[in-house]
């Protein structure tokens, strides 16, 4: 596996811009951001503001044929099809793709478009970035979790090792879990719970840290994910709720989820890949999902009141 020298960021929102800044601070020439149209003009004019500092990341155009060694996809789920179309000239025979999208289905779409051998399983956990306009602020950039389905210690796949070596050089925090499928489902459980409960209750993390009833609402939707995981064999256990509670208590009290940010900005949410996915998988497994049924209808109603 060749070393990674050229990284393309597809989706320069809060997550994508935060990751790009980590790489840029060490190797400015190694990272670029894919852009076209209005976004290209805006990025050229205003750059990216992260924690009060302006970054002018190199910009890549969809039509040029500059192939990337590593592509990090960080768009919203409903923009993935457009991102795939824009990425086509950037994927070469040795390109590796990491998807930091929420949910558990983006890798399937990317694999269908570019080949499963190019796509590693990935997610980001622990980032508290908030974007308002062009201004992104975060106290924690989180850690990228990535790998193939199973990653035995000291026996990583060459693609996994190449990405890890690049992240070591650039200071991007990461974890290679032994069971990456379980890790994806763990984040899915978290997003289904805290993202949707916070959007419905219009509440920051403080409410879930201090009010037991709010935490019970959040956990009710997460328990449906755990029940699905047990049926599907993806590894979640009841103890994962306690593990998440420890993480929740360490978050900044006034921080807000990405879905609440979307609701407050009157943007399309990712409800389809959260409760929508739970409902769909529940039907296939013969499992009732009343909490997520309710959340789906509530959040779609919120969207329609914009």
Specify the pTM.
Answer: 0.91
Which of these, 37, 254, 12, lies nearest to 131 by C-alpha position?
12
Q: Average pLDDT for residues 34-58, to the nearest whole number? A: 94
215 pLDDT more than 90: yes
Residue written as tokens 């790489």? 23
Residue 19: which residues within 8 A CB-CB, separation 6 or more?
A: 9, 72, 74, 100, 124, 141, 144, 172
- For 237-283, write each residue's pLDDT tens digit: 999 999 999 889 988 898 889 999 999 999 999 999 999 999 999 99
In contact, 4 and 69? CB cutoff 8 Å? yes
The residue ranking higher by pLDDT, 125 or 128, is 125
**pLDDT score for 132:** 78
Q: In terms of C-beta density within 10 A (0-12 exposed, 13-18 middle, 19 or more buried), how is residue 273 classed?
A: buried
Domains in the chain with CATH codes:
7-178 (3.40.50.720), 181-304 (1.10.1040.10)
Residue 189 neighbours by CB distance under 10 Å: 25
Angle CA(300)–CA(126)–CA(278) in degrees, nearest 5? 35
The CA distance from 197 to 190, in Å, is 11
**pLDDT score for 5:** 95
Which of these, 145, 95, 87, 89, lies nearest to 119 by C-alpha position?
95
- For 48-93, write each residue's pLDDT tens digit: 999 999 999 999 999 988 999 999 999 999 999 999 999 999 999 9
The CA distance from 212 to 88, in Å, is 48
The token duo for 36 is: 């076209």
- For 180-193, write each residue's pLDDT tens digit: 999 999 999 999 99
**pLDDT score for 138:** 82
Helix intervals (H) in 136-211: 158-170, 180-190, 196-201, 205-210
Using the Cα atoms of residue 38, residue 39, residue 44 and residue 48 in order, give the sign of their dihedral.
Answer: positive
Straight-line distance from the first to the last Cα atom of the chain, in angstroms, rounded to the nearest whole number: 49
């Amino acid at each position: 596996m060749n070393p990674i020298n050229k990284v393309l960021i597809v989706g320069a929102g809060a997550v994508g811009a935060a990751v790009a800044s980590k790489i840029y601070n060490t190797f400015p020439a190694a990272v670029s951001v894919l852009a076209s149209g209005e976004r290209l003009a805006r990025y050229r004019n205003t750059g990216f503001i992260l924690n009060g500092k302006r970054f002018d990341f190199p910009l890549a155009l969809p039509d040029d044929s500059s192939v990337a060694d590593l592509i990090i996809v960080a768009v919203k789920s409903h923009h993935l099809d457009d991102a795939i179309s824009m990425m086509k000239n950037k994927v070469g025979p040795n390109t590796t793709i990491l998807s930091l999208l929420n949910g558990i289905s983006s890798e399937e779409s990317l694999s269908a478009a570019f080949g499963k051998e190019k796509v590693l399983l990935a997610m980001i956990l622990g980032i508290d970035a908030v974007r308002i306009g062009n201004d992104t602020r975060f106290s924690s950039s989180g850690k990228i979790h990535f790998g193939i389905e199973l990653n035995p210690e000291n026996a990583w796949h060459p693609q996994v090792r190449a990405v890890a070596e690049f992240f070591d050089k650039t200071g991007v925090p990461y974890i290679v879990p032994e069971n990456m499928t379980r890790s994806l489902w763990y984040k899915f459980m978290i997003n289904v719970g805290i993202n949707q409960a916070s959007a419905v209750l219009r509440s920051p993390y403080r409410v879930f840290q201090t009010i037991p009833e709010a935490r019970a609402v959040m956990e009710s939707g997460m328990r449906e994910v755990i029940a699905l995981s047990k049926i599907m064999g993806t590894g979640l256990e009841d103890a994962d709720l306690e593990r998440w509670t420890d993480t929740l208590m360490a978050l900044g009290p006034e921080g807000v989820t990405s879905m609440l940010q979307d609701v407050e900005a009157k943007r399309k949410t990712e409800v389809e890949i959260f409760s929508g996915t739970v409902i769909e998988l529940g039907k296939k497994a013969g499992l009732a999902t009343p909490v997520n049924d309710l959340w789906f209808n509530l959040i779609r109603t919120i969207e329609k009141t914009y």
